[in-house]
Chains A and B, each alone.
Chain A
């Protein structure tokens, strides 16, 4: 029995929604970064699912997904580096404490 495309898309949409919620609602900077990671994975799941069911002969989608995973890892490294610096400066990783751009 094969799992239909719709199931993948539903799981991807759920993941995306959870990620968006996490990014918007969480106050901890680490949690926000994790939300972004979830969103990226939701996109990756969508890409793989569409590849598998729409164009299984074309491998470019797998390459896109590997790119996304790589970029996600790099982004996490940079983001966590910024977090470390901010924590050293202010002893806080709560995003609400960083409101200097407020107009």
Chain B
């Protein structure tokens, strides 16, 4: 079965060069490769259901360090990997329709396949070093996909911003696994968790590692203070938002904490940090979402808020609640994003102030939006159980403040999502909307509907979840709390809808959220400026090094030309002169050979005379 496990992340990765090389000649420009490979990966995962397996190879071993890379399948990684592959498949189908009239589709699908493969590697990885590599790979994929419309306003800057801000978090993750490597001489996650279970890790070290890992999670999951990149990332094509920036990549941070939960469990300080950061982010982002005017940005702030809720659940000691919320949210949010993409295509804008009354033209999408909004507000269609119940039972176990926070979150979630939905789908149609009329291709509707159905059925998955996941079951929730939670969500939905019905897209609670958002953007801009300044100063150092290298090269060049000149003027000229002298001497000797016999004879006699005289002189001496 191990080859099947290896095939899961390898299949999508293998289509990357194929799409790049041959995509332009295929009818869907490589999209069919991406979707097909993802479907195969999903089938492989289905075949691997219930299997526990680890495929591991030693990368290298040196001086007591042992670096192994491999894939690890257990209920948790299977659960998340299946979710990733499933959403990737549906969003991929949606993307076939959404990108139908784009140029450079082959590049898009290659990047999408690269992301899917990297994300599956991240989820299934058995060692921190491979996880980190995949973590960086999804970051690169995110950068490439955000900047896909690179000529569009802001895409370039948003891509760089997303990449750099997540890099800040990645730094923490890097330090974290290096610390583990230094201490345990391995980066294997199983070995790390075993060491934690046996208490071989000192508490201080465990806390340090957990906090460093959490820094990585903050960056990837857009928690405060590294939130601002996520709304900006919405310039990406909508399938990218639906897959990367709502369901999978941003969930990687939550997944990391889940995967290493035993480590966090022995570090109470780290857990408290997780809870506080998550809680504050959740409330903050929900408030900002109330005033946002761009449909996709509303959903982005909502994503950040829900991820904060998951972090809160993790921090309060409810990994099961977090895992369930992760799944529910991922499916519902990608469904909402596919609807947003259809709205964008159809009306040519995502501005809530200019949208309205679209329910008559996009009824299917409106229905899916309703299902998604209900699911996000904790009201499941086919079940009484919901992930919010797990969240509330976790919060109840921890005290009043978390409970209140969770209820407020549910209420706010309903408020902003229904405000946006009502502004888009209800009311009169606004003038000035470009009638683009797109967004109704078969593929897009198929993807959206499939996601909507999965969202509606998600509760069934959720109720089956606890049996499979390796976390303690939640305590049974009293009926009254379920009703309270459902009422909070419903109240939010109704209030938001009513507000939008009367005042259309005007911000819900005045200008406070807008101020909050601007403050955050400025606050995050400062460290970015500092980093930029550091980079600029490094640039001058680099320039100096470059100059030095150039000078060295110039010196060598001068030396070489000097040697060449010496050779040419010295040896070369000397040789020339010698040859010239020989030539002149030869000419002179030639004149001796006059061809006149008497001269030869005369020379002979003179020579003989000379010899005689010399002989006489020698005899005399």
Contact = CB atoms under 8 A, between A and B. Distances in A.
Contact of B595 (A20, A25, A100): A100
Given A20-B605, A24-B602, A103 B592 contact: yes
Interface string B592-604: 1111111001100
Interface residues of B, number: 13
A96 interface: yes
A101 interface: yes
B590 interface: yes
A98 B596 CA distance: 8
A102 B597 contact: no
Nearest to B605: A20
A49 interface: no
A32 B598 CA distance: 9
Nearest to A29: B597
Contacts of B589: 103
Contact of B596 (A20, A23, A32, A99): A99
Contact of B601 (A23, A98, A100, A102): A23
A102 B602 contact: no
B479 interface: no
A80 interface: no
A84 B593 CA distance: 26
Interface string B565-603: 000000000000000000000000111111111100110
Contacts of A24: 598, 601-602, 605
A58 B595 CA distance: 44
A96 B600 CA distance: 12
Interface in A60-96: 95-96
A32 B594 CA distance: 18
Contact of B593 (A32, A96, A98, A101): A101
A95 B605 CA distance: 18
A23 B595 CA distance: 15
A15 to B, nearest CB: 15
A35 B593 CA distance: 23
A25 B598 contact: yes
Contacts of B595: 98-103
Interface string A19-47: 01001110000001000000000000000
Contact of A103 (B593, B598, B601): B593
Contacts of A99: 594-596
B594 A102 contact: yes
A79 B158 CA distance: 111
B415 to A, nearest CB: 116
B597 A103 contact: no
Contacts of B598: 23-25, 95
Interface in B110-132: none
Interface of A: 20, 23-25, 32, 95-96, 98-103
Interface of B: 589-598, 601-602, 605
Given A24-B602, A32-B597, A98-B597, 17 more contacts: A20-B605, A23-B601, A24-B598, A95-B597, A96-B596, A99-B594, A99-B595, A99-B596, A101-B593, A101-B595, A102-B593, A102-B594, A102-B595, A103-B589, A103-B590, A103-B591, A103-B592
The 8 closest A-B pairs by CB, nearest first: A102-B595, A103-B593, A99-B595, A103-B590, A24-B598, A95-B597, A101-B595, A24-B602
30 contacts: A20-B605, A23-B598, A23-B601, A24-B598, A24-B601, A24-B602, A24-B605, A25-B598, A32-B597, A95-B596, A95-B597, A95-B598, A98-B595, A98-B597, A99-B594, A99-B595, A99-B596, A100-B595, A101-B593, A101-B595, A102-B593, A102-B594, A102-B595, A103-B589, A103-B590, A103-B591, A103-B592, A103-B593, A103-B594, A103-B595
